[in-house]
Amino acid sequence: MQKNILIRQKLCFSQKNRLVHITNRESLDMPRIDYADETKISSEALALIESAEETGAPDPRCVRIYVKNEDAGVEWVKYWNSLLYGGVLPHALKELCRIYISIDHECGYCSTVRSSKGASEGVTEEKVAALMHLEASDLFSYKEKVALSYAKKFKSSVTEIDSDDVYIALKKTFSDEEIIELGMLCAQTDGVGKFAKSLNIVSWEDACVINPNIIKKEYAKS
C-alpha cells in the first residue's frame, strides 16, 4: 500500500466533546478493498451510507466497503444499526462497550469512530480516556462497569465468559434480554471489528495521532 494518497473521506473523532471532521488527510493508507462506486449501488445501500454520515457510527468509510456486497454487507449494516441504536440497553452503554473492545484490539477505524447520539448521552472523550482505569474511575455508573467488565472478559477469551459465575453476576444487574443484547453487541464488535481493522482504513498508529485518548495504557485489573 502506498502512503500519501489523498483520502477524501471524512475522518471523524471527538475532541473536547465536539465532533471534528478532517478531510483530505494525506498520511493514511488506502483500504485493502476499494470503496463502492455510489453510481453503481442500490438506493438502499446509498441510504445506509447517508445514514452513517448523519449518525457518525458506523463510519461511512466502512459502510462504503460493506455495501459493495448487496446481500451480506447491506444486511449486516442494517442489523448493526438495529443492535447499536435500538434494543433494550441504553445506547451510551453499548457505545462504551464498542469503543472499549475496539481499543483493546487496536482497530484504528473502530476506536476513533463516535456516534453523535453517544456524545449527546454523555460518552465524552474524558470518559473514553478513563476506560484505561475503569475500576478506579467515578465517571461510570455501576451498570456501565458491570457491562464493561463483561466486554473486557469477552474480548480476552471465550474461557473468561464460559462460566456460571459470570452469568450469575450479570443477572444481578441485567435482565436476560439485556444480557443477550450485550453479548451480541460484544460479538459483533469483536468479530466484525477485526475484519474492519484488516481492511486498513485507518492504522492504529494514525489513530493514536488523531485521538491520543485511545492510546493503550495498563488496564486496571478487575
pLDDT digits 0-9 by tens, 139-174? 999 999 999 999 999 999 999 999 999 999 999 999
Rounded to whole angstroms, the Cα distance separating 66 from 53 reads 15
Helix boundaries (H) for the chain: 43-55, 60-66, 72-85, 91-104, 108-112, 116-120, 125-130, 142-156, 158-161, 164-171, 176-198, 204-210
Considering the chain, what is the average pLDDT of its residues?
Answer: 82
Question: Taking 90 as the threshold, does the pLDDT of residue 1 lie above it?
Answer: no
Query: pTM score, two decimals?
Result: 0.80
Which domains are delineated in the chain?
1-222 (1.20.1290.10)
Q: What pLDDT does residue 145 have?
A: 96
Distance of alpha carbon 128 from alpha carbon 100, whole angstroms: 8
pLDDT at 221: 39
SS3 110: helix
CA distance 172 to 13: 35
Give the residue, 77 or 104, on which the prediction is more confident.
77
Q: Which three cell numbers stand for residue 124?
A: 465524552
Phi, psi of 93 (to 5 degrees): -65, -45
Residue 24 has pLDDT above 50, yes or no: no
Span 39-58, average pLDDT: 96
- pLDDT tens readout for residues 163-221: 999 999 999 999 999 999 999 999 999 999 889 888 987 665 665 565 566 565 544 33
